[in-house]
Chain A
């Protein structure tokens, strides 16, 4: 793992896997959309609204998966001070916030016709809303300091404190009474969902995951360049004579 903390090593690895993850994302999402919209049956209770599930559930999984990935990167940053871990957390947090927003809004669009309400303050919905605010807090902290290293550390601490929310989201439907239905895929005793609906759900979930890996590789590369640019500007600022620096400031 230490080997990939080196940006040059990382970029070689990223260049090798990027075409594969991008291709698999396109294939999984295209096949997933076909089954989600055309080749799967409407639900016997929920009718056609069940198709919202193929967006809502993968985005909810990715919201939690991304948060866990950010928390792991944050722990690596705080314990081993890997510079690449900070760049990874910085690259992933906004993507996670987008997945969480998609989960909340698609859930609202499903809740209105099926529950008769866009929103309820129950445990599942509220804990996911807190997840969204945790992401926003991290993004704000990353940019709150002139020294990006200090911003990265502050955001990492928030990410680690907030990770307690992830199991709360997962088990909220078991621990509290809620309108939200309990888990039907990741549960003891295997999935209770019909295979004709499980197939599009899994295809979309894999599509979202491969998409996330590809977009994260792009964003980490972008963060590496941003850090390199800061180093170059710092070196050039130090190289210029004091008078020139004052004039340009």
Chain B
């Protein structure tokens, strides 16, 4: 197991590459979903404020 994490002496290069990939892919996903949720509630609030005008496209 220790051998696996040591990556033949290159742990300092291999693991940061995988860690950064995880941080970027998960980070972009979470940021995109949060932005979508925020805009959904903004649009809902704007439509509730003026229900007649929200009916169109």
Contacts and interface: CB of A to CB of B under 8 A. Distances in A.
Interface string A35-55: 001100010000111011001
Interface in A39-96: 42, 47-49, 51-52, 55-56, 59, 94-95
Secondary structure type dominating chain B contacts: helix
Given A48-B10, A219-B32, A236 B53 contact: yes
Interface in B12-52: 13-14, 16-18, 20-21, 24-25, 28-29, 32-33, 35-36, 39-40, 42-43, 46-47, 49-50
Contact of A49 (B14, B28, B29, B53): B14
A47 B10 contact: yes
B20 A106 contact: yes
A98 interface: yes
A229 B43 contact: yes
Interface residues of A, number: 38
Contacts of B46: 229, 232-233, 236
A59 B53 CA distance: 44
Nearest to B49: A236
Interface string A195-228: 0000000000000000100010011011001101
A38 B18 CA distance: 14
Interface stretch (A107-115, A143-151, A155-163, A186-194): A107-115
Interface of A: 8, 37-38, 42, 47-49, 51-52, 55-56, 59, 94-95, 98, 101-102, 105-106, 109-110, 112-113, 211, 215, 218-219, 221-222, 225-226, 228-229, 232-233, 235-236, 239
Given A109-B14, A218-B29, 7 more contacts: A47-B8, A47-B9, A102-B20, A102-B24, A105-B17, A105-B20, A239-B53
